[in-house]
A and B are shown apart, each in its own frame.
Chain A
Amino acid sequence: MTGGSSMVRIGAVMLRHLYILRSSWPRLLELAYWPFVQMVLWGFMTLFLVRTSSWFAEAVGVLISAVLLWDILFRANLGVALTFMEEIWARNLGHLYVSPLRPWEHLAAMMSLSLIRTLISVLPAALLALPFYGVWVFDLGLPLLGFFIGLMVFGWSIGLFVASLVLRFGQGAESLAWVGIFALAPLSGIYYPIDVLPGWLQPVAWALPSSHVFEGMRSVLLGDGFRPDLLAASMALNGVYLILAGAWFLITLRIARVRGLLLQQGE
């Protein structure tokens, strides 16, 4: 009568969150709202800068593309962290972890949901950038897929790290899901090249996968071509961070089992 596979259990966790999304159009709207507002704001900023700066005149899409790519990282992080926190708010972790769901299946479900949430968030803004400003971010071509993957995976790693902190230290750590990632923004070179940073800070910046992605994006948009070395560095760093974040999550889960945190979490 019972059995079940990993795919079915991953699908079950995804279904639980998709039910919520489906039943709440304000949530869906909110997902797309902020990326759209960001795109509009930076779009007008770009129009102004194009008139006053020859550098921007040659690279109209740099700012808007940077805004959209940054949102991929931000939403990927939120997608994982919020999916986990939703279980805490619902006091549902106890039920989940006495079911046959394995921790890695839970991780896979959170990442898959993060992908869906990110696409819902960023795609409308990316499409609307064309009628608003004549910027078609998909002109980045195939490298865009690499940039997208690089930022998604880094976002997952950060989201897993935040989820682990929330599990370990309680809901006081929740705000890290929103503010923590902004600590990385200045180092990621979203709107400026990494060589703008002080020398001592540049190695720190280059240790982030996001820096390689944004540098690679500028290289394509400014006509210097696709830089496979930057993409490869981003992927390699992502592999390391994802393994570390996954291991940290599993270690934290074990600590939660030792300290009895799985039943204590909740609103």
Chain B
Amino acid sequence: MRDAPPDGNLGGNAAAAAEPAIMVRDLVKRFGEVGAVDRIDFDVAAGSTTALLGGNGAGKTTTLSMLLGLLLPTSGSVRVLGHDITRDARRVLPRMNFSSPYVDMPRRLTVRENLTVYALLYGVSDVAWTIARLSEELDIADLSRRPFGELSAGQRTRVSLAKALLNAPSLLLLDEPTASLDPDSGDWVRTYLERYRKRAGATLLLASHNMAEVERLCDHVLMMRAGRIVDSGSPGDLIARYGRANLEEVFLDIARDRRPATEDAP
């Protein structure tokens, strides 16, 4: 059994601003004739953990890509940490980061080399100390000399998370943060993320297919289907409204276009 994640101060921005960490207004993304995201509006409160849920093709990855500035919207606006991401990305990018098992890091570089390169890219002031601390906290110190491409999927997920935390981001976007992890490692990472959010006052937005994870971590849930946000609320609120036992059943109801139980009541 692994030790509990450490609880030291990571030095992030603890001040919870009044303005939401993310403000999305009337956001549309079309690829030619195909609509990927269709006029969505949502806020993510500063210091909260929010989940973006939906089936395959619902528009989650497209939305996350627009929040990261990797994808330009067809129309609408995205404000991240008080700035328009399409115009002022340079002001925002040093304060945010992301992790995804679907975006690789250079495979021939060792873990330490990868983390060094990204620490420099993010302007981390004490590169060696930061990498040593994160390596210890995320239990990847033993992997430091191994090429990233030789790691197991679970090890890669932890290294990718270390990369995402190098700059102690105020906003952390996570795509499937515990994908490929065994239950013990998954639980450990979830505990780590919860503690990181509290210590750093950070905002977390995650896309996940693990509903138990979302129930445990998230204050707020945004449900997407066919490019639209079709419902939102706290996990408990959604479970109550749909009259279900857990969020997985709510997810299935929404994915299959079933109405909340409260709407069916006379």
A interface, CB within 8 angstroms of B: 1-5, 8-9, 11-13, 15-16, 19-20, 23-24, 86, 90-92, 94-102, 254, 257-260, 262-263, 266
CB pair B90–A98 under 8 Å, yes or no, is: no
Q: Does B98 contact A (CB under 8 A)?
A: yes
Q: Is B75 an interface residue (CB 8 A)?
A: no
Taking a contact as CB atoms under 8 Å apart, the answer to whether A91 and B123 are in contact is no
Nearest CB in chain A: distance from B161 CB, A: 13
B interface residues, Cβ below 8 angstroms from A: 11, 31, 61-62, 65, 68-72, 90, 93-98, 100, 103-110, 113, 116-118, 120-125, 163, 167-168
Q: Please state if B123 and A2 are interface contacts (CB–CB under 8 Å).
A: yes
Number of A-B contacts (CB under 8 A): 115
Task: Give A257 to B98 CA distance when docked, in angstroms.
Answer: 17
Contact of B93 with A9 in the complex, beta carbons under 8 Å? no
Determine the distance from Cα of A263 to Cα of B122 in the docked complex, in whole angstroms.
20
**Contact across chains for B65 and A92 when beta carbons are under 8 A apart:** no
* Closest CB in chain A relative to B108 CB, distance in Å: 5
Whether B108 lies near A15 (C-beta < 8 A) is: no
- Identify the closest chain A residue to B95 (Cβ): A2
- Point out the residue from A2, A23, A94 that lies within 8 Å of B167, measured CB to CB: A2
Check B105 against A95 for contact (C-beta < 8 Å). yes
Question: Cα distance A1–B109 when bound, in Å?
Answer: 25
Whether A16 and B124, one on each chain, are in contact in the complex, defined by CB atoms closer than 8 angstroms, is: no
Closest to A9 in B: B121
Select the residue from B90, B107, B116, B117 with max chain A CB neighbours within 10 A.
Answer: B117
Given contacts A91-B103, A257-B72, contact A100 B94 (CB under 8 A): yes
Report which residue of A16, A23, A94 has the largest number of chain B beta carbons within 10 angstroms of its beta carbon: A16
Report the separation of the CA atoms of residues A236 and B61 in the bound assembly, to the nearest whole angstrom. Answer: 45
Contact across chains for B104 and A266 when beta carbons are under 8 A apart: yes
**Closest CB-CB distance, A46 to chain B, in whole Å?**
39
CB-defined contacts of A94 to chain B, threshold 8 Å? 70, 100, 103
Partner of B120, one of A12, A24, A90, A262: A12
Q: Are B121 and A91 in contact (CB under 8 A)?
A: no
Bound form: Cα–Cα A219–B19 in Å: 68
Set of chain A residues within 8 Å of B122, measured between Cβ atoms:
2, 4, 99-100
Q: Bound state CA distance, A2 and B100, in angstroms?
A: 22
Min CB gap B93→A, angstroms: 5
CA distance A3 to B122 in the complex (A): 7
User: A8-B120, A98-B70, A99-B121 in contact; A259/B104 too (CB < 8 A)?
Assistant: no
Q: Which residue of A lies closest to B94 (CB)?
A: A100
List of 8 A-B pairs having minimum Cβ-Cβ separation, nearest first: A4-B123, A12-B120, A91-B104, A94-B103, A99-B121, A3-B123, A90-B106, A16-B117
Report Cα–Cα, A92/B102, bound state, in Å. 10
Q: Do the beta carbons of A20 and B70 come within 8 Å of each other?
A: no
**Could you give 30 example pairs across A and B, Cβ below 8 Å?**
A4-B121, A8-B123, A9-B120, A9-B121, A12-B117, A12-B120, A15-B120, A16-B106, A16-B109, A16-B113, A19-B108, A19-B109, A23-B108, A90-B106, A91-B103, A92-B103, A94-B100, A95-B118, A96-B121, A98-B68, A98-B93, A98-B97, A102-B90, A254-B72, A257-B69, A257-B71, A259-B31, A260-B71, A263-B71, A266-B104
In the complex, how many angstroms separate the beta carbon of B207 from the nearest chain A beta carbon?
13
Contact of A90 among B69, B107, B118 (CB under 8 A): B107
CB neighbours of A259 from chain B (8 A): 31
Pick from B69, B106, B123, B125: contact of A92, CB under 8 Å: B106
Q: In whole Å, how far is B28's beta carbon from the nearest beta carbon of chain A?
A: 13
In the bound complex, residues from chain B placing their C-beta under 8 Å from that of A86 are 106
Task: Check A19–B104 contact: CB distance below 8 A.
Answer: no
Inter-chain CA distance A1–B123, complex, in Å, is: 8
CB distance from A211 to the nearest CB of B (A): 38
* Complex Cα–Cα for A63 and B107 (A): 41
Q: Which A residues lie within 8 Å of B97 (CB)? A: 98
Task: Determine how close the nearest CB of chain B comes to the CB of A143; give it in whole angstroms.
Answer: 38
B118 partner residues in chain A, CB cutoff 8 A: 12, 95, 99
Q: Using Cβ atoms and an 8 Å threshold, which residues of chain B touch A260?
A: 31, 62, 65, 70-71
Q: Which residues of A contact B167 (CB under 8 A)?
A: 1-2
Q: Which residue in A15, A258, A262 is a CB contact (below 8 Å) of B117?
A: A15
- In the bound complex, residues from chain B placing their C-beta under 8 Å from that of A1 are 11, 124-125, 167-168
CA distance A152 to B95 in the complex (A): 37
Given A90-B104, A259-B31, A260-B62, check contact A12 B121 (CB 8 Å): yes
Complex alpha-carbon distance, A153 and B93, angstroms: 31
Contacting residues, chain B, for A15 (C-beta < 8 A): 113, 116-117, 120
- A262 in contact with B70 (CB, 8 Å): yes
Residues of A within 8 A of B168 (CB): 1-2
